[in-house]
Amino acid sequence: MYNIILFGPPGAGKGTQSEKLIEKFQLIHLSTGDILRNEVKAGTPLGLKAKELMDRGDLVPDDVVIGMIRAKLESCNNAKGFIFDGFPRTANQAIALDELLEDLGTSISMMLSLEVENQELINRLLNRGKESGREDDKNEKIINNRIAEYNDKTMPIIKYYQNQGKHEAIVGVGSVEEIFDRLCVAIQTEINA
């Protein structure tokens, strides 16, 4: 199996690039943000609990998202591999993911980290917020809180993957196609190695 973490701050392009990568490399896209938004839309108890945190731009508790990923991994046992988008986001989630994958006899192949500066992230998200209806794109205060959560709890786990020799930074500015090409080169180089 080939398992990629597509990493980066809010608005870095994880979702956009995941859609293209799953097609090219025949992988399954697991986005905890998308799964949570589906729960909210369906009005499940989990969704109702998560909505308040998501609307503020705060992280949802680790046990909730780890449980969701566990369920997805268990239901996709014939997969060629996964792209994890928006997960892991804390040290506990990174450790739990390694354990879950180990149980499946596999592991993370690489972490690709999209690097985009704050002002560009804010512009992208405010722009999407005009139409998306996503509460967390609505104003700069919430977007800044999402970025602060990322800097505080999420960015430090880069080190966890650097220590395993799995981290690679990718320039996340430019056209969607240019960034996709950079990601493909990184993945292909690793597959050929």
Residue closer to ligand AP5 by CB (options 10, 21) is 10
Q: Which stretch binds Mg ion (CB under 5 A): 6-14, 37-45, 110-118, 162-170?
A: 6-14
**Shortest reach from residue 9's CB to ligand AP5, in Å:** 7
Least Å distance, CB 144 to ligand AP5, is 12
Q: Concatenated DSSP letters for the chain? A: ---EEEE-STTSSHHHHHHHHHHHHT-EEEEHHHHHHHHHHHT-HHHHHHHHHHHHTPPPPHHHHHHHHHHHHHH-TT-S-EEEES---SHHHHHHHHHHHHHTT----EEEEEE--HHHHHHHHHHHHHHH--GGGS-HHHHHHHHHHIIIIIGGGHHHHHTTT-EEEEE--S-HHHHHHHHHHHHHHHHH-
Chain residues that interact with ligand AP5, rule: CB under 6 A: 8, 10-16, 32-33, 36, 53-54, 57-60, 65, 86-87, 89, 93, 124, 128, 136, 146, 175-176, 179
For ligand AP5, the closer CB: 90 or 187? 90
Query: Would you say 106 or 144 has its CB closer to Mg ion?
Result: 144
Binding stretches for Mg ion (CB under 5 A): 14-15, 33
